[in-house]
Amino acid sequence: MSYTSTSHYKSVLITGVSGFLGSHLAESILVESSLGNIKEDYRVIGIDNFCTGLASNVTYLKQKFPKNFLFIEKDVIQPWDDVNSILTEAIKSEISHVFHFASPASPPHYQRLSLETLWVNTLGLSHALRFADDIGARVIFSSTSEVYGDPDVSPQPENYWGNVNSFGPRACYDEAKRFGEALIYSWNLRHQTKHGLVRIFNTYGPRMNPNDGRVIINFLVQALAGQDLTIYGDGRQTRSFCFVADLINGIKKYALTDITFPVNFGNDREFTVLELAEKVQAHFAKKQSQIVFLEKAKDDPAQRRPDLSLAKKLFPEWGPKVTLEEGLSKTAQWLQLNSR
Give the residue-averaged pLDDT of 168-186.
98
Q: What is the share, in percent, of the chain residues with pLDDT greater than 70?
A: 95
| Model pTM score | 0.95
Would you mind telling me the total number of residues written for the chain in this entry?
A: 340
- At residue 288, the pLDDT reads 79
Q: What is the share, in percent, of the chain residues with pLDDT greater than 90?
A: 88
What count of other Cβ atoms lies within 10 Å of the Cβ of residue 329?
14
Q: Dihedral of CA 177/209/201/35: which sign?
A: positive
- At residue 89, the pLDDT reads 95
- At residue 227, the pLDDT reads 94
Question: How confident is residue 1, by pLDDT bands cut at 50, 70 and 90?
Answer: very low
The DSSP code sequence of 106-142 is SHHHHHHTHHHHHHHTTHHHHHHHHHHHHHT-EEEEE
User: Is pLDDT above 60 for 38?
Assistant: no
For the segment 264-284, what is each residue's pLDDT rounded down to a tens digit?
999 999 999 999 999 999 999
34 three-class SS: helix
Give the residue-averaged pLDDT of 194-217.
95
Give the residue-averaged pLDDT of 70-98.
96
* 11-15 sheet: strands from edge to edge: 69-73, 44-48, 11-15, 95-100, 138-144, 196-200, 263-265
What count of other Cβ atoms lies within 10 Å of the Cβ of residue 162?
16
Question: How confident is residue 300, by pLDDT bands cut at 50, 70 and 90?
Answer: confident
* Rounded-to-integer distance, Cα 83 and Cα 97, Å: 15
Give the residue-averaged pLDDT of 94-115.
96
User: Is pLDDT above 60 for 7?
Assistant: no
Per the annotation, the verdict on 173 as an active-site residue is yes
* Rounded-to-integer distance, Cα 170 and Cα 109, Å: 11
User: Is pLDDT above 60 for 204?
Assistant: yes
DSSP state for residue 9 in the 8-state scheme: -
Give the residue-averaged pLDDT of 243-263.
98
User: Is pLDDT above 90 for 290?
Assistant: yes
Output the 3-class SS for 48-82: ECCCCCCHHHHHHHHHHCCCCEEEEECCCCCCCHH
Catalytic residue among 173, 185, 232, 254: 173
CATH class of the 11-205+242-268+303-321 domain in this structure: alpha beta
User: Is pLDDT above 60 for 237?
Assistant: yes
Residue 175 near residue 189, CB atoms below 8 Å: no
DSSP tally for the chain: helices H, then strands E: 13, 13
For the segment 105-117, what is each residue's pLDDT rounded down to a tens digit?
999 999 999 999 9
What value does the mean pLDDT of the chain take? Answer: 94
Give the start-to-end residue ranges of the domains of the chain: 11-205+242-268+303-321
- At residue 5, the pLDDT reads 57
- At residue 305, the pLDDT reads 97
231 three-class SS: strand
Question: Checking DSSP bridges between strand 44-48 and strand 11-15, what pairing results, if any?
Answer: parallel
Question: How confident is residue 39, by pLDDT bands cut at 50, 70 and 90?
Answer: low
The DSSP code sequence of 162-229 is -B--SSSTTHHHHHHHHHHHHHHHHHHHHHT---EEEEE--EE-TT--TTS--HHHHHHHHHHTTPPE
Question: Which helix (H) or strand (E) is 330 found in, with range?
Answer: helix 324-338
- At residue 189, the pLDDT reads 99
Single-letter amino acid, residue 113: L
